Structure 1
Amino acid sequence: MIVVTGAAGFIGSCLISRLNQEGFNFIIAVDDFSKYEKLDNLTGKTIQERVERSDFFAWLDENQEEVEFIFHIGARTDTTEFDRAIFDELNVQYSKEIWNRCVAYQIPLVYASSAATYGLGEQGYLDDEALIPQLHPLNPYGDSKNEFDIWALAQEKKPLFWAGLKFFNVYGPNEYHKGRMASVIFHAFHQIQKTGKMKLFRSHHPDFKDGEQMRDFVYVKDVVDVCIFLMNHRKNSGIYNLGSGKARTFKDLVTSTFNAMQIEPVIDFIDTPADIRDKYQYFTEASMDKLRAIGYAQPFHSLEEGIENYVTQYLIPNAYY
């Protein structure tokens, strides 16, 4: 059995689809299944059992001998949520419980960290574990992810194999339920479809022109391919960046979305909301050398390739991965 937490969510559901493609059908899907708005993500997927998030530890204690691998993808990911107690419960304490059981039951573990741990990038974007305690995330979500990374590195007892993945700006199918937290591509598609144009945040930084703020956008299909690689690799434990390795502008992103929709680009600029302006990242780019050094050789989708696939195969036909 392979456990996937956050199974009905964006990345978790795409991972299950990818596991099914590889012939893994004994999947234990863990999530808060009371959130009906994302359950369509599991339609058509082969799953052995659904387990409520609150029941998972009791389930694992009973079934641990049959569990071969755990992907802990589930988390509270809302960067605009400032109730630290929520993140402490769902992102820190829950992850510690999973880690400790993986140690006790000798189960390999891959868990979701985040590029939000890098804050404004004062220390750069190098996945050097010695730098992790020096990072300054910009919000409680990033703090919670960094806190768990620091805790994991400090543990004397670790799973036989483990990896924390610092996801950068992931986009792709099955993210429709994320609301404001969905990717800019998702919002651009729907805004263009409705109005024929797209609004982007104006730059409030002298070094960046409007629309030329840069992020590392990574297609979800690349993310789940890396997860599969690590499940098969099972050595070189540690914390890894997971981005495309190439920063691109929001203007590039929106232009690619217009092109995939076969619509002439029309972009307007609006002020960045005051509540996020002082916490806005103008540049992120994952250093991917560490993952490459352990043998991951597959190319990543370019921004244009990823958006073309996402728009034409999923957004336009309203399909799931």
Structure 2
Amino acid sequence: MIVVTGAAGFIASCMVTRLNLANFNDIVVVDNFSIAKKMANLEGKKIKEFVDRNDFFDWLDKNYEEVEFIFHLGARTDTSEFNYEVLNLLNLDYSKKVWNACCEYQIPLVYASSAATYGSGTLGYDDDENMIPLLQPLNPYGESKNDFDKWALEQTAKPFFWVGLKFFNVYGPNEYHKGRMGSVVMHAFNSISDSGRLTLFRSHNPDFEDGKQMRDFVYVKDVVEVMYWLMHHRKNSGIYNLGSGEARTFLDLAFNTFSAMGREINVDFKDTPEDIRDKYQYFTQANMNKLRSIGYDQPFHTLEQGVQDYVQNYLTSNAYY
């Protein structure tokens, strides 16, 4: 059996699909299944068992001998969440329990970290583990992810294979439930569909023109491909970046979305909301050399390829992966 936590969410539900496509059908999905808006992500998938996240550790104590691998992708991912108690409970304490169980039962582990750990990027975007204690995230979500990365590196007891993945700006199918926290591609598609135009955040940094803020946008199909490869690789434990390795502007993303929809480009700008303005990242780009150095050699979708696939094969028909 393979366990996927946060399984009804965006990236994790895509991971279940990737496993099913490889004929892994004994999937145990873990989540808070009372959130109905996420459940469409799991429809039609081959799943052995649904386990509520509050019951998972009791379940694992009874079934660990049958568990081959754990993908711990469940978390509170809202970057505007300022309730430290919630973040500590779900992102830090729960992850520690998963880690300790993997140590006790000798289960290999891949868990989700985040590029939000890099903060403003003044220390760069290299996944050098020596830099992790020095990072200064810009929001409590990023802090919670970095706190767990630091804790994991400090442990003397570790799973025999483990990897933390710093996801950059992931976009793609199955994020429909995320609302404000959905990708810019999804919001762009919805806005263009409704009004024929797209409004982007104005730059409040003199080093960047409006719309020229840059992000490392990575397609979710590439993310799950890397995780699938790691499940088979099972060596070179550590913390790795997972982005496309190429920063692109929000205008690039906008123009590609208009193009994929066959619509005329119509972009304007508005001020970045004040509640996130001082925590806004103007540039992110994953250094992917570390993952490449351990043998991962698959190409990543370009922004053009990813946006076209997402828009034309999923968003246009509200389809799921």
Aligned residue-pair number: 321
% identical equivalent positions: 68
Deviations for 1:148-176, whole angstroms, at most 9, x for unmatched residues?
00000000010010000000000000000
What amino acid is aligned across from residue 290 of structure 1 in structure 2? K
What amino acid is aligned across from residue 208 of structure 2 in structure 1? F
1:217 equivalent to 2:210? Answer no
Secondary structure of 2:153's aligned partner: helix
Secondary structure of 1:320's aligned partner: coil
Secondary structure of 1:51's aligned partner: strand
Q: Find the counterpart in structure 1 of residue 293 from structure 2.
A: 293
1:173 equivalent to 2:173? Answer yes
Q: Find the counterpart in structure 2 of residue 189 from structure 1.
A: 189
Q: Find the counterpart in structure 2 of residue 276 from structure 1.
A: 276
Q: 1: CA distance between counterparts of 2:283 and 2:139?
A: 17
Measured after TM superposition, the shift of residue 275 of structure 1 is 1.1
Deviations for 1:251-281, whole angstroms, at most 9, x for unmatched residues?
0001000000000110011111111111110
1:82 equivalent to 2:87? Answer no
Q: Find the counterpart in structure 1 of residue 229 from structure 2.
A: 229
Q: Find the counterpart in structure 1 of residue 20 from structure 2.
A: 20
Deviations for 1:51-76, whole angstroms, at most 9, x for unmatched residues?
00000000000000000000000000
Deviations for 1:221-280, whole angstroms, at most 9, x for unmatched residues?
000000001000000000000000000000000100000000011001111111111111
Q: Find the counterpart in structure 2 of residue 320 from structure 1.
A: 320
Q: Find the counterpart in structure 2 of residue 308 from structure 1.
A: 308
What amino acid is aligned across from residue 199 of structure 2 in structure 1? K
Q: 2: CA distance between counterparts of 1:294 and 1:124?
A: 21
Deviations for 1:4-35, whole angstroms, at most 9, x for unmatched residues?
00000000000000000011000000000000
What amino acid is aligned across from residue 19 of structure 1 in structure 2? L
The 5 A counterparts of 1:68-217 are: 68-217=68-217
Deviations for 1:263-310, whole angstroms, at most 9, x for unmatched residues?
011001111111111111000000000000000000000001000000
Q: 2: CA distance between counterparts of 1:53 and 1:101?
A: 14
Q: Find the counterpart in structure 2 of residue 33 from structure 1.
A: 33
Q: 2: CA distance between counterparts of 1:272 and 1:70?
A: 38
Q: Find the counterpart in structure 2 of residue 55 from structure 1.
A: 55
1:263 equivalent to 2:263? Answer yes
Deviations for 1:123-181, whole angstroms, at most 9, x for unmatched residues?
10000000000000011100000000000000001001000000000000000000100
What amino acid is aligned across from residue 161 of structure 1 in structure 2? F
Q: 1: CA distance between counterparts of 2:217 and 2:223?
A: 11
Q: 2: CA distance between counterparts of 1:207 and 1:30?
A: 44
What amino acid is aligned across from residue 105 of structure 1 in structure 2? Y
Unaligned runs of at least 5 residues, structure 2: none
Runs (4+) off by over 2 Å: none
What amino acid is aligned across from residue 16 of structure 1 in structure 2? V
Secondary structure of 2:192's aligned partner: helix
Secondary structure of 1:264's aligned partner: coil
Q: Find the counterpart in structure 2 of residue 242 from structure 1.
A: 242
Secondary structure of 2:199's aligned partner: strand
Q: Find the counterpart in structure 1 of residue 9 from structure 2.
A: 9
Unaligned runs of at least 5 residues, structure 1: none
Q: 1: CA distance between counterparts of 2:204 and 2:318?
A: 35
Secondary structure of 2:305's aligned partner: helix
What amino acid is aligned across from residue 255 of structure 2 in structure 1? T
What amino acid is aligned across from residue 179 of structure 1 in structure 2? G
Q: 2: CA distance between counterparts of 1:89 and 1:203?
A: 35
